[in-house]
A and B are shown apart, each in its own frame.
Chain A
Amino acid sequence: MAKHETPFLDQLESGPWPSFVSDMKQQAEVRAKNEAGVEFQIPQDCVDDLLGVVELSYKHGRTHWKHGGIVGVFGYGGGVIGRYCDQPSLFPGVEHFHTMRVNQPAGKYYSTEYLRSITKLWDLRGSGMTNMHGATGDIILLGTTTPQLEEVFWELTHNLGQDLGGSGSNLRTPADCLGTSRCEYSCYDTNSLVHFLTNEFQDELHRPAFPYKFKFKLDGCPNCCVASIARSDMSFIGTWKDDIKIDQDAVNKYIEQDPAYPSNAGAHKGRDWGPFDIQKEVINLCPTGCMKMVGKELKIDNANCTRCMHCINVMPRALKIGDVRGCSILCGAKAPILDGAQMGSLLVPFMEVNPDNDYEAITDLIENIWDWWMEEGKNRERLGELIMRQGFQKLLEVTGIEAVPQHVAYPRTNPYIFWREDEVPGGFERDVVEYRKHHLR
């Protein structure tokens, strides 16, 4: 028998998509029966009460979680988010119901042994409810009480070899696509780089010293499966500098509609779009018009290719990324809060991704950007907003990067150019008396 009536939530159990309500009810029941004999360290009926709170929100059209609350683990400023219910007498099981962010492994690969160790820990010391995963990438453990925070942290670090992620004004848990581990498009090993950056900047991840949040996201190619270009302060997007590799026989297999060569790797199989037409589907859609068929050969004018990936996506068996691989780095993306949405702006057109020297070029760039942002950034000002306020040229100055045409979509449309004094012969100081000798008042 359910602790609370949930007529609204019950309606979300029907339909094909996995129902979070059914899952919560299942969890409430598992805790109530406790066949595993768990010595629950937080209220056994917390999931029943969570269902009750959410049902009340469905009735009121408003949340019943209170704002904030400063809790955490000793020595860290991030990784734990305090959460309290605003109807504690109705729902005592979730009166204190804090979130812990656990740093996910690169590529979000897991062994069941590891996942079971997390679920066991969270059954004992938490609600048994999670997010797999939060928007930033972490494993989110939802709902525990203050006395359990240090205990969970201790068990994570001592028994599971696992750290918390970030929250607050610090480096947020870096996230990546699966990269070369299972993708032929990936131009660098995103898993290795994200693991390196996460460990290299542990201090910044756990001890908030920044003006506001800062996100690294790593995409292996311009397809941008982790959306780094839209939602990270520094976005690492794999790319290449040399020519697309062409297997002409395979190109012709696509043209001949060999069933082993479906267009777009089979992504359009669900509808009859007519026979594959390389002219219409690849050559005419190339944004730079740099491709053509000459007889049975596909020719690509690589110097005019912008590596948008369309042709490679359509014919993955025939076209391959080049061999001189690295990444482009874009800065300043963010969602609307505070000053409106921003897309990442290209700062480094190409950078080597070199594990042999501990990714020195990348870490140097990061340090320069952080030095500037920490010095000049206002409270709650994201990097993108600082770039807007002080200018892209300032970003070039602090990073020592030379301006190149790749930095702009088009050159400035206004001629209000701020020349510096040292850029103008003779400087700005002049003699008005000398001037007046030749110019009457």
Chain B
Amino acid sequence: MAFISSGYNPAKPMENRITDIGPKHFEEFYPEVIKKNKGKWTHHEILEPGVLVHVSETGDEVYTVRCGGARLMSTTHINEICDIADKHCDGHLRFTTRNNIEFMVDSKDKVEPLKNDLKSRKFAGGSLKFPIGGTGAGITNIVHTQGWIHCHTPATDASGTVKSTMDALFDEFQNMRLPAHLRVSMACCLNMCGAVHCSDIAILGYHRKPPMLDHEYLDKLCEIPLAVAACPTAAIKPAKVTLANGTEVKSVEVKNERCMFCGNCYTMCPSMPLADTDGDGIVLMAGGKVSNRISDPKFSKVVVAFLPNEMPRWPSMTDAIKKMVNAYSNGANKYERLGDWAERIGWEKFFEVCELNFTHHLIDDFRQQAYMSWRQTTNFKF
């Protein structure tokens, strides 16, 4: 493998250097029909799950076929996406915020050939490459994080939990029979790179053991004051520690009963790892939303405090999610989001109809905001 130079000269890093040019201009990438009708769209319709039409005041139409995809994608797979777009869509496509792929065509007669092409493509292992769906009152692709594929702090895997969940909910991806759309999101630790805290259902990786202390290396690898300051509950203090060989080193001490396993210390100090086979697992949250429609945006609530990591398919997790989706589907009114439904029937009923256990871990005890979540009325249900 001979080294191929791009032209960059390490001896003169500033020579011909180009920086701060930003992204490519979006107009280069618009399909013709989009460029022509931008700002002129009058209405749209979801013709069937995964297929939309947008109609312009010029009379033009754009048909969109939406496909789910794993967020992790190889260049081989992306090249295949390009082949499809070249064949059907004049070489244009887009991705949605939730990692779906959208193929657009400018007339209705181009839709069926595109759909048939997409449906015909499967991975060697048997799964679909381009499942069509993810629109309207159903479940669309799960936004998620890196997990064990590439992250240093996860408490669970992301791609695997998502694959398992989407397999379990696949019918809802390809249908539009729920009371409203239902957004499932996944983040593999409390950092929540995926910001799942406002989703209808959120899968969250969580640690349950305080950090280990690698005393021998801690002072060499970490700024002790930063590690101390990183802790939101002030559980960490500086300490002098004598190693087995008698050497005294500067390190830290952790007050375990104050630790809520957020992993901030590990973010600041690699000598405080907290991952653990038995300690780590999944928290499920429910009832959040970001839309302002009918009711205000709201946070998701913790509804399952812990489920173990059950590799490779997390069956307890997918069971709990399916129970929630089924109970919501059976109980909610048309247009009612999961959180609005839970609030209407009351959270005590939510646990009953979803067959989820309520435990003391579900009562908030973090900071004064917790008080807002305790019941201050006699209006409750038995």
Contacts and interface: CB of A to CB of B under 8 A. Distances in A.
Among B23, B86, B95, B159, residue most surrounded by chain A Cβ atoms (within 10 Å): B23
A269 B136 contact: yes
A135 B291 contact: no
Among B14, B19, B22, B232, residue most surrounded by chain A Cβ atoms (within 10 Å): B22
Interface string B108-148: 00000000000000011111111100011110000111111
Interface stretch (B234-242, B306-314, B345-353, B374-382): B306-314
Given A16-B128, A58-B157, A63-B151, A110 B93 contact: yes
Contacts of A335: 187, 190-193, 195-197
A375 B82 CA distance: 47
B259 to A, nearest CB: 14
B290 A227 contact: yes
B250 interface: no
Contact of A158 (B7, B127, B175, B292): B7
A415 interface: no
Nearest to A165: B23
Nearest to A184: B41
B264 to A, nearest CB: 6
B203 interface: no
Nearest to B366: A340
B257 interface: no
Q: Can you list the 8 inter-chain pairs with the closest CB atoms, starting with the nearest?
A: A13-B125, A267-B136, A15-B167, A335-B192, A22-B123, A231-B195, A27-B74, A67-B270
Contacts of A317: 42-43
B360 interface: no
Interface residues of A, number: 151
Contacts of B91: 111-113
B277 A14 contact: no
Interface string B22-43: 1111101111001000110111
Interface in B22-73: 22-26, 28-31, 34, 38-39, 41-49, 54, 62, 64, 68-73
Interface stretch (A125-133, A354-362, A365-373, A395-403): A125-133
Contacts of A53: 148
Contacts of A115: 78, 81-82
A61 B309 contact: yes
Contacts of B13: 74-75, 150
Interface in A202-228: 202-203, 206, 222-228
Among B5, B17, B34, residue most surrounded by chain A Cβ atoms (within 10 Å): B17
Interface residues of B, number: 146
Contacts of A150: 6, 8, 10, 13
Nearest to B125: A13
Contact of B148 (A63, A191, A270, A337): A63
Given A24-B74, A109-B94, A379-B226, A230 B294 contact: no
Interface string A171-201: 0000101101111100001010001001100
19 contacts: A14-B126, A18-B69, A50-B149, A105-B25, A105-B28, A107-B26, A107-B94, A108-B97, A109-B26, A111-B28, A130-B73, A147-B3, A158-B7, A163-B21, A180-B38, A268-B136, A269-B176, A309-B291, A335-B193
